[in-house]
Amino acid sequence: MANPSRKWTRETWPIAAAMIQYPNVLADGSSVQDQSVEQWAETLADVVDAGFTELDPTDSWIRLADLPAARRDDFVKLTRDLGLSMPAISTSRRSVIDPEHGDEYLAYGHRVIDTAAAIGAGSVSFGFFGPLTDAQKKALWFWTVDGVKNPEDPAVWRQAVQRIRELGRHAEELGIELALEMYEDTYIGSADSAVRFVTDVGLPNVGINADLGNLVRLHRPVEHWQPMMAKVAPFAKYWHVKNYYRTEDETSGLVVTHPAPLEFGVINYRAAIRMALAHGFDSPFLCEHYGGDGLSVSAANRDYLRRILPRD
């Protein structure tokens, strides 16, 4: 019997391609923002060829919210012509509490929400993670080097709560959900802190992007994925999914991680998704993968999700 509270089945569930493999600034110094429709089409052909029918126009690749309305409409028409829908928009490294650009990024966040409504996207992902440091940019895997940390300052926490609540109320008016991305050393950097934060925000459309991959990849002790997922499952919304191999040597303290296809890494996504579904999870997924042909691995991850999602 079909679940009447669930919008989608395994065949229809929106599973979007991330665009993290594609930079905003190209090798010749030009920006994706200024490309022609034909040039955008060349990039999106990869996504279509990988079998995706959903796209997240991740703003590390293109900032739809900063395009003139006519150019944005051209982009939307292109995606529709290619058979791609856009169920969500993810933002990256534009924290509303950034010490230099927080006000600018807050205004940008409002534009992203308006853009999501204009293109028919029902979800937006925000985070509190900052720009990569020079040391992170030099590392093979940037997460092996410590990055920008959110301050342990109650006043900044309160500011973060107030600003996300402001964005959340704007989104609520437009029927859009906000998902706050779990990321190390931020206010959403552990399950306990993430739950406390969204509870402080106190809006039903503001939840957690349970991107546990961002945490299990760290070369340091982290909470096991299963209790983390149990804590955040009641608050799960738009979900970035990726996985990692993780080896821990208890005698030396050595931790080594490496990107893994979704079904092979340390997180059991079959179990994690069932936890979220038990709490009524009904949001899109985004497939990400770092290293190698990340788009093709993401496509394999999409196929895995379709095998384990509910039949009806």
Q: What pTM was computed for the model?
A: 0.96
Q: What percent of the chain has pLDDT over 70?
A: 98
- 202: which 2 tokens? 């106190």
Answer yes or no: is pLDDT of 4 > 80. no
Residues 6+ apart with CB under 8 A from 194: 180, 182, 187, 188, 208, 231, 232, 235
241 bridge partner residues: 287
Answer yes or no: is pLDDT of 49 > 60. yes
Answer yes or no: is pLDDT of 263 > 90. yes
Answer yes or no: is pLDDT of 1 > 80. no
What does the pLDDT average to over 17-46? 96
Phi-psi region of 293 (alpha: psi -120 to 50; beta: other; left: phi over 0): beta
pLDDT at res. 40: 98
pLDDT tens-digit profile of 39-48?
Answer: 999 999 999 9
Q: What residue type is 251 in one-letter code?
A: T
Closest CA to 298 of 259, 268, 271: 259
pLDDT at res. 105: 98
Answer yes or no: is pLDDT of 2 > 70. no
Phi-psi region of 175 (alpha: psi -120 to 50; beta: other; left: phi over 0): left
pLDDT at res. 312: 84
Confidence of residue 3 (pLDDT cuts 50, 70, 90): low
Domains and CATH numbers, the chain: 15-308 (3.20.20.150)
Answer yes or no: is pLDDT of 24 > 80. yes
Confidence of residue 72 (pLDDT cuts 50, 70, 90): very high
pLDDT tens-digit profile of 238-253?
Answer: 999 999 999 999 899 9
What does the pLDDT average to over 135-160? 97
pLDDT at res. 70: 97
CB 236 within 8 A of CB 207: yes
Q: What average pLDDT does the chain have?
A: 96
pLDDT tens-digit profile of 266-298?
Answer: 999 999 999 999 999 999 999 999 999 999 999
- 150: which 2 tokens? 């959110």
